[in-house]
Amino acid sequence: MGNLGGPANIFGIKTVLGLWRLVLGLWALAFEVESCVRVGIHQTWSQDLRPKTQGLKPKTALRIGLQFMTRINWYKYASPAAFYSLAGRMIPWFAVPAAVLFAVGLYLGFFVAPTDAQQGDAYRIIFIHVPAAWMGMMLYVLMAIYAAIGWAFNARLASMMASSLSITGAMFTFISLVTGSLWGKPTWGTWWVWDARLTSTLILLFLYIGFISLQAAIDDTRRADRAGALLAIVGVINVPIIYFSVEWWNTLHQGATIRLLDKPTMAPPMLAALLIMLAACWLYSIAVVLARLRCIIVEREQHVWRMAMVRE
Amino acid sequence: MKWSEFFSMGGYALYVWGSYLLTLLAMGAEIVFLLRRRKRCFRATTDSKLNGVIAE
């Protein structure tokens, strides 16, 4: 029993299995109650409307039961063809607000936010540098999550999403490096320094490029997805390194000015412009990633449509 | 803010406007590549007699 871990270790395997059966039994009971209440007790006995879960694995039976009870097909949009049309309807709702927020954010950043006491007007690069850096990091984590889901659950659409995210993420990381460099020259006196944050962000860019290249190099699409997923998952350790680099090491790059729970130390108009630009970048990313996902779906699922044509 | 002040950005015009120009180029390139990819993949599917099957 020693190497089973967790509850099995403490309570013993028989107890754990017993508890699991109890949970399933309670679930079945709730199921029974729901169908009785909904359909009417006498009808339940005469006309069994529940889906047949006999002989299925507990997990599958649970899922089918849940779907039946809630009348929602939770996996509907896991199909590339189904998500294709949903994505098409979603894109304008993200693209248009993105454009608006970019305009608002840039206006606030250039005309409302005051000049900085120490850096003069050079600090205004912050309104694109910081959102781009955040997007680069967040899109990498998202990419790793989708790639992992695509690999673990053999979900094609999740892997396609990871491939779509990679290009936008690489773009934002590149922007953050370049704008950071252009900001560093007047303020630090150097275009580049091999400190912790800059180096780990450069590594992030290499990881993105590696992911894209690896997927492009493998012909079999599912194998390419799995190989890319491995790279993405292993590389995700870099993101917390970037985030905490300014705390862990003595870096030229300044420490965090914005924390989730503390009061901000930045002037309100600057913070407002920064957050609006971040929202704009998020909306832009979603629109672009969904549009690219649609292209990927069409490129990969052609055989599905060909078969449909042939049958007709 | 006066326009001359706005354009010179306190002497940092090269760096500030350079950053925003490069950002615009990068995002613009992304969108242009995306539109070209879209055109290419829909042309490929319509060419192979799947006209009208794919809902736009």
User: Taking CB atoms and an 8 Å cutoff, what residues of chain B touch A167?
Assistant: 30
Q: For chain A, report the end-to-end CA distance as a whole number of angstroms.
A: 58
Kindly report which listed range (A187-201, A212-226, A230-244, A250-264) carries the lowest average pLDDT score.
A250-264
User: Taking CB atoms and an 8 Å cutoff, what residues of chain B touch A291?
Assistant: 34, 38
Residue A121 sits at the chain B interface (C-beta within 8 Å): yes
Q: Of A280, A310, A295, nearest to A163 (Cα)?
A: A295
Give contacts of B 3-32 with A, CB under 8 A: 6, 9-12, 15-16, 18-20, 22-23, 26-27, 30-31
Residue A293 sits at the chain B interface (C-beta within 8 Å): no
Mean pLDDT value of segment A18-29: 78
Residue B41 sits at the chain A interface (C-beta within 8 Å): yes
Residue A12 pLDDT more than 90? Answer: no
Residue A217 pLDDT more than 50? Answer: yes
User: Taking CB atoms and an 8 Å cutoff, what residues of chain B touch A88?
Assistant: 56
Separation between Cα atoms, residue A254 and residue A64, nearest integer Å = 52
Of residues B22 and A74, more confidently modeled: B22
| pLDDT score for A61 | 81
Choose, out of B3, B24, B27, the residue to mutate when testing the contact with A (most A CBs < 10 Å): B27
Of residues A26 and A160, more confidently modeled: A160
| pLDDT score for A312 | 41
Residues 6+ apart with CB under 8 A from A169: A135, A136, A139, A140, A143, A208
Residue A185 sits at the chain B interface (C-beta within 8 Å): yes
Residue A213 pLDDT more than 80? Answer: yes
Mean pLDDT value of segment A140-153: 96
- Please tell me the total number of residues recorded for chain A in this structure: 312
* pLDDT tens-digit series, residues A191-200: 999 999 999 9
In terms of C-beta distances under 8 Å and separation of at least 24 residues, what long-range contacts does A104-112 make, across chains too? A104/A276, A104/A280, A105/A273, A105/A274, A105/A276, A105/A277, A105/A279, A105/A280, A106/A273, A106/A277, A108/A269, A108/A272, A108/A273, A108/A276, A109/A270, A109/A273, A109/A274, A109/A277, A110/B6, A111/B1, A112/A269, A112/A273
CB contact under 8 A, A292 and B37: yes
| pLDDT score for A9 | 57
CB contact under 8 A, B11 and A110: no
Q: Furthest-apart CA pair in chain A: how many Å?
A: 83
| pLDDT score for A143 | 97
Separation between Cα atoms, residue A117 and residue A167, nearest integer Å = 37
The tokens describing A11, both together, are: 């309570």
User: Taking CB atoms and an 8 Å cutoff, what residues of chain A touch B44?
Assistant: 299, 302
Q: Name the pLDDT band for A44 (thresholds 50, 70, 90).
A: very low
**Residue of chain B whose alpha carbon sits nearest to that of A168:** B30
Kindly report which listed range (A128-132, A198-202, B22-26, B45-49) carries the lowest average pLDDT score.
B45-49
Q: Name the pLDDT band for A255 (thresholds 50, 70, 90).
A: confident
* pLDDT tens-digit series, residues A219-240: 999 999 999 999 999 999 999 9
Mean pLDDT, rounded, of chain A: 85
- Please tell me the total number of residues recorded for chain B in this structure: 56
The shortest CB-CB distance from B23 to any of A175, A292, A299 is to: A175
CB contact under 8 A, A121 and B53: no
CB contact under 8 A, B30 and A171: yes
Does pTM top 0.80 for this prediction? no
Choose, out of B15, B17, B48, B54, the residue to mutate when testing the contact with A (most A CBs < 10 Å): B15
The tokens describing A192, both together, are: 């580049």
CB contact under 8 A, B19 and A115: no
Choose, out of B4, B8, B23, the residue to mutate when testing the contact with A (most A CBs < 10 Å): B23
